[in-house]
């Protein structure tokens, strides 16, 4: 980690393991200040992420995340096939009066981080889901907020407040969640997924990432091995690492997570976190053979499975797939924690999700949730319970499946028209709100970062594929269709082509 890296043109730089500032922040801060002070002039090329990482003694993903931030802030831009450069035109906030403020803010943040514990210093190095910038066209994992059921939600909310809520609806409440909401979720899962569970098995969370973090804290000890999909959900991996567990990347192929590979890599793992219904980001569905093999492994190894079913409600052919817990015999089913979220079926800003705990552990999950942030807002839980119980949720899901199928088809049509020579997206996705498109002209995995920077400058939010890999990697883009209206799709894809072409 202390290896010195001599950077041509702008001097020397080393990452400081003793600093509480994450490595990617140290790298981004150094390069940003080099631009601000004129040491890096417009047109200067930043070093390739792979070689830069090797010189600094850090992971390539750390450098990629630093470059991501610089591109998003306007301090760098990608050029097709040639790397990352300082742009010719800098953002307005880089005018000379802002230079001192930028440097002082960075120094102040660094000073503040110095007071963190070793554990805290590790936490702030973990990547989190970034806040979208600009209009976010083609953003993956984002629902159609223009189709949110505003009128119904407003009516139910107004009814709640007019009824003069009880003390327990405005005060401290059961950390497991509002009982009628938990019952409504259990009934919905039983009817649509064949998932046997009751209200007592349900714990309300702030989303799927929160549920994954709770499972990792309760079911693993520091240093325990946890299988994760490679490529996989970056923020979910961070949630696991924040609990002190050791990530074991297990390859994903067209049948989903390779269970045999996982057993070779870490057969003694305590936990496996998977997305069987619609793998993120590749979009594949885990085969029945692999599902049964995963359940057998968990039972034999006395391990646990977290099944993240964030996309399970959106399938465009046939019924939603049965969860692992519904497939397994009782002994194996009791080793599965099922995770769901309302972020993609309603809105991420509601911060409402849930987990279905093994019957013997529901109380433990509720207690752990209470220790961290006590509860999700009871007023939102009450409104959501009525939204589900009165049938509005089922109606909304039917309407959204048709809307997303239309938007998916609009994206595929636009890609066929504008990008067949630059992207390969395979077959039409049969589930979820995104697809993965490989770059046809990809000399190195870094090129998707370059394209992402150019796309972001055009108002697109199409994250690169390569950072989703813990090991290995390939160049591509994760392209969403849920939040982009059909009449905006062609224009957005034309912008994407401009970003890819240069």
Check whether residue 79 and residue 156 sit in a common domain: no
* Encoded tokens for 366: 């509720």
CATH number of the domain where residue 485 is located: 3.90.1150.10
Q: What is the CATH number of the domain that holds 285?
A: 3.40.640.10
pLDDT band at 7 (very low <50, low <70, confident <90, very high): very low
**Percent over 70 (pLDDT), the chain:** 90
Residue 109: is its pLDDT beyond 60?
no
Residue 102 inside a domain? The answer is yes
- pLDDT score for 483: 92
Residue 259 has pLDDT above 70, yes or no: yes
Per-residue pLDDT reduced to its tens digit, 472-498: 888 899 999 999 999 999 999 999 999
Domain assignment of residue 105, yes or no: yes
pLDDT in tens, 395-413: 999 999 999 999 999 999 9
Say if residue 60 is in the same domain as residue 91.
Answer: yes
Which of these three, 343, 373, 391, is where a domain ends?
A: 391
Of residues 271 and 164, more confidence is placed in 271
How many domains would you assign to the chain? 3
Q: Is 132 within the bounds of a domain?
A: no
- Strands ordered across the beta sheet of 476-480: 423-424, 434-439, 476-480
Domain shared by 115 and 164, yes or no: no
In a domain, 144, yes or no: no
Please tell me whether residues 259 and 234 are part of one structural domain: yes
Residue 303 pLDDT exceeds 70: yes
For residues 169 and 306, membership in a common domain is answered with yes
Spell out a b/e string for 4-18, using b for 16 or more CB atoms within 10 Å of the CB, else e.
Answer: ebebeebeebbbeee
Q: What whole-number distance in Å separates Cα of residue 396 and Cα of residue 346? A: 9
Query: Tell me: the pLDDT tens digits for 428-437?
Result: 888 899 999 9
Nearest to 411 by CA among 463, 461, 480, 495: 480
> What is the residue range of 219's domain?
150-391
pLDDT for 471 = 84
Please give the span between the terminal C-alpha atoms of the chain, in angstroms, as a whole number.
35
The reply to whether 141 falls in a domain is no
234 and 383 housed in the same domain: yes
State the average pLDDT over residues 441-454: 79
> In this predicted model, which residue has the larger pLDDT, 225 or 455?
225
The reply to whether 142 falls in a domain is no
pLDDT single digits (tens) 411-426: 999 999 999 999 999 8
Q: Please work out, in degrees rounded to the nearest 5, the angle formed at the alpha carbon of residue 80 by the alpha carbons of 79 and 85.
A: 20
State whether residue 142 is helix, strand or coil. Answer: coil
pLDDT at 363 over 50: yes
Share the mean pLDDT of the chain: 85
Res. 133: pLDDT tops 70: no
**Does a structural domain hold residue 139?**
no
Residue 328 has pLDDT above 80, yes or no: no
- Tell me which of 350, 367, 391 is where a domain ends: 391
Of residues 81, 153, 102, the one with CA closest to residue 379? 153
Is residue 210 included in any domain, yes or no? Answer: yes
The answer, yes or no, to whether residue 23 has pLDDT greater than 70, is: yes
């Amino acid at each position: 980690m202390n290896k010195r890296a001599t950077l041509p043109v702008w001097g020397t730089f080393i990452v400081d393991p003793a600093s509480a500032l994450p490595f990617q922040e140290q790298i981004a801060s150094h390069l940003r200040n080099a631009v601000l002070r004129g040491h890096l002039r417009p047109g200067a090329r930043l070093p390739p992420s792979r070689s830069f990482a090797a010189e600094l003694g850090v992971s390539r993903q750390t450098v990629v995340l630093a470059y991501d931030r610089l591109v998003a802030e306007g301090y760098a831009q990608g050029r097709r096939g040639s790397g990352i450069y300082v742009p010719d035109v800098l953002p307005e906030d880089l005018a000379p009066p802002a230079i001192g403020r930028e440097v002082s803010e960075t120094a102040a943040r660094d000073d503040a981080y110095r007071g963190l514990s070793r554990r805290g210093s590790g936490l702030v190095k973990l990547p989190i889901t970034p806040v979208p910038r600009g209009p976010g066209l083609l953003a993956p994992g984002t629902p159609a907020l223009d189709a949110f059921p505003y009128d119904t939600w407003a009516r139910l909310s107004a009814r709640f407040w007019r009824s003069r809520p009880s003390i327990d609806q405005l005060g401290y409440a059961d950390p497991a969640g509002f009982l009628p909401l938990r019952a409504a979720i259990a009934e919905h899962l039983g009817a649509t997924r064949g998932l046997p569970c009751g209200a007592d098995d349900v714990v309300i969370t702030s989303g799927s990432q929160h549920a994954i973090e709770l499972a990792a804290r309760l079911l693993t000890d520091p240093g325990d091995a946890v299988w994760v999909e490679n490529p996989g959900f970056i923020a979910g991996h961070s949630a696991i690492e924040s609990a002190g567990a050791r990530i074991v990347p297990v390859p994903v192929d067209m049948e989903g997570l390779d269970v045999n590979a996982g057993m070779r890599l870490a057969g003694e793992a305590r936990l496996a976190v998977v997305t069987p219904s619609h793998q993120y980001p590749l979009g594949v569905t885990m085969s029945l053979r692999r599902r049964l093999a995963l359940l057998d492994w968990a039972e034999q190894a006395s391990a646990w499975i977290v099944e993240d079913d964030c996309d399970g409600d959106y399938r465009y052919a046939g019924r939603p797939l049965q969860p692992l817990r519904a497939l397994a015999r009782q002994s194996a089913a009791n080793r599965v924690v099922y995770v769901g979220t309302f972020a993609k079926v309603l809105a991420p800003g509601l911060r409402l999700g849930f987990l279905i705990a093994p019957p013997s552990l529901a109380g433990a999950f509720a207690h752990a949730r209470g220790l961290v942030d006590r509860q999700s807002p009871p007023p939102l839980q009450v409104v959501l319970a009525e939204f589900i119980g009165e049938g509005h949720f089922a109606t909304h899901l039917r309407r959204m499946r048709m809307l997303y199928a239309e938007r998916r088809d609009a994206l595929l049509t636009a890609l066929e028209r504008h990008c067949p020579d630059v992207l390969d997206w395979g077959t039409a996705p049969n589930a979820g709100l995104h697809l993965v498109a490989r770059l046809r002209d990809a000399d190195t995995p870094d090129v998707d970062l370059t394209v992402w920077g150019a796309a972001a400058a055009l108002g697109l939010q199409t994250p690169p594929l390569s950072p989703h890999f813990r090991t290995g990697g390939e160049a591509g883009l994760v392209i969403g269709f849920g939040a982009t209206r059909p009449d905006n799709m062609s224009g957005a894809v034309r912008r994407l082509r401009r970003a890819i072409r240069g």
